[in-house]
Structure 1
C-alpha cells in the first residue's frame, strides 16, 4: 500500500513538470497568433517576430502606412463615396492612431484613409505689396485723367514752385490777383488770400446792395453821422434830401464816404447793421474771407478782404448791367448840378479799361480792382498794399493779356494735335 502511494506521487510530479515545460511555449504562440489574424487582409511582407508587443505594433503601423501610400494613385481615381467608406473602416482607423503615436515624423503630404490632408498655401506677396498692387490700376487711370486735363487747360505761368517770377520782382503790391473774367481761372497771383484792409474798394459791395435795394428816384436823408465822414466826400448837407441815383454814382465814381453812409442808413437803419449785410452779401457773391465793419471801407478793427475776394466780387458785379455802365463813365452830372469825376485813372491811361474802383488808407496803402478787355479777352486785376498802384497795374494788365494769348495758342496747338475741342476759356 505504501509502495502504491509513492508510485502515484512520482507520476503526479512527472505530469506537473511536463505541464510547466509545455506552458511557456504555448504563451509565446498565443502572443504571436493575434497579429496575422488582424492583418490578414493587408498585403504585408514577412517580418521577424519579436517577443515585445510594442515592437510588433510599430512594425504593423509602418506596414499599414506603406500600404496606404502605395494605394494612393488608385484611390485618387475612385469616386468620393469610396474614399469616405475607406475612412470609416475600424481597422484602418486604429492603424492611423497607431501611426500618429509612432516616433517617425509624418510627411506634409501624407494621406490618411485615402483622403489628402488640406495644405496651407502662403501668399506669394506681402499684404502691403498686394494692397499697392490692387490700387495701381486706379492710380494709373487717375494719372491719365489728370494728364488729359492739364493738356487741355491753358498754361498761364511756367514759373517753378518756390521761384519768384519776373513780374513779381517788378511790382510793389503785397497782394495781387489776376483772374480770367470768363472762367474765373487764375492767371497770376501773389499772396492772394492774405487778409488786408480793403479801403474804398469795398464800396463795390455798398453800391451793389444799393442798386438791388433802391430805385433811382428814392429819397435819401442825410444824418449828421453821414455828413461827418472824412474825405473823400461830396459834402452832403444835413437835413437835405438826395436822390439814390446821385449817391450811388458818388460812391462808385467819386468814392464818397458820406454818400456811402447815407445809403447804408437808408437801407439798414444804421451803418453797423448795413456792414453785417455787406459781409453776408460778399460771401454769397464769392468773397469768403471778407468781413465788413464800415460802408465806406475806412480802416476799422476786424475789417478785412483779400485780393482773390476783391477779384471775385468785381467779376460778379460787372455782370450787373447798371453797375457796369456806371463804373465805365469818366464824368457824371448829378440832378442838383454837381459834376462827378471818376477816380479810376485807368480809364484814361490803360488800353482796354472797362471799369474799376480805387482805394487808399494809411493802413491799407493803395488798393485797386478793375476789369479790362482786349481782343475779345477779359481779365480782372486786384491789387492790395501797393506803393505805386498805377505802375503796378499797367505791368499786371499787360502780363495778364500776354499769358492769356499764350494760353490761347497752347489750346489751339492742343486741338490741332489731338483733334479735340478744348472746353477751357
Structure 2
C-alpha cells in the first residue's frame, strides 16, 4: 500500500468515528488545537522561515511571500480563528426541513458530514489550520495537500494538530497531510474516489482548472477573484475613492481584492483623474483602456489579458463605460463570478446591477474585501465557491455538510 493510500484510509477510518460525535467533544478538541498552536508558535515560525527563505531564493514575488509568511502574531490570529469556529453552531444534525405526511409517516431531512474532504491549495499555510478546523467541526476528516512552497510549515502544523487531538475524543487521524512534494501525490488524491468524498481546490486558475478537469473525485470549485468596482454616474465620488482604494490596496494578494475598476463616462472627466492620483499615491499601477490612458502618462495601456487578470499585486485594470449595462457586459465578459461592486446613490441602478451581475457576491456601496467567511460571520472559511453546485460564495460549516432523509413510521407499508 502506498503512503498516500495509508493516510487516505486512516482519514476514512477516522471519519467514521468523528461523524457521530456531538458538538461538545469537537469544540473541546478545537480549543485544545488552538492552545497547542499558540504554545508552539515559535516552532511553527521557525519551520515557516525555512519555506520563506526557499521562496525568496527561488525568486518568488513579495505578494506571494506575504501569503506564505507566518509570525507569532499571525499564528495567534489563526488560533483565534479556530476558537471562533468552536464557538459557532454545529450544523450536523440540524433539521433542514420536515413534515408529517398524510399517511402519518414522519419525514425529516438532516445535515450530515460529507465524510473525507481533500483540500488542494497553494501558498498560504493558514489554510492548513482553517480547513482542518472547519472540517472537524462539521464532522469531516480532511486530507491536506498544500503547495511544496509551504511544505515545512504544513508538516509542523499538521503534526501539532494531530498531537493536540490525540488527547481528545476526536481521532487524531481525522487530520492528514498528503505525503510527497511531486504532482504524483496530487494525482493520487484526485483519483481516490471511494476514499475521498469531495475535493476542494484553492488557488490560481491553472490549479483549479487542472483539478476540475482531471479529478474523478467530485469537486467543489473555488474560483479566481477577478473582482470589479463599478463607479456609477450617480456615485458619491469620495465614497467611491475610499472603497476603490480599500478594495485594491488593503490586501492586494487575496482573491477578493479588486482587479478592475470601471467608471461611467458621465463622470469620467471628474472622477478618473482623482482615482489615478489616489492610486498612484498608494503605489498602484493602473492598466487602462484608451479613455483612461488619455488622462495620465502614468497609465499603462491595457491589453485584453489585463482585463482577465487576477493580479494579486498593486496593479489594477481600468476602463470607461458608457452605461451601467455596459459595465455589466464588461463584468460578464471578463469577470470570474467572484465579487463585483457598484458605487451609486441610485436605488434603481443598484437594483439593476444586483439583478444582472451573475456573481457569487455583489456589493452595493461596499468594498469587495468583505467577501470572506470571517467578515460574513461564518468563522474561518474553506474557500469561496464561484460555481453553483453544491454551494456558492464563502463556504462555512453548513457548506461542508450533505443531508440525509429520515422517515419514521408505525408499521407503514406501501400499497
Normalised by the length of structure 1, the TM-score is: 0.22
Q: Which has the higher strand share?
A: 2
Q: Which has the higher helix share?
A: 1
Which structure would you say has the larger RCO, counting Cα contacts within 8 Å and 6 or more residues apart? Answer: 2
**Higher Rg:** 1
Normalised by the length of structure 2, the TM-score is: 0.22
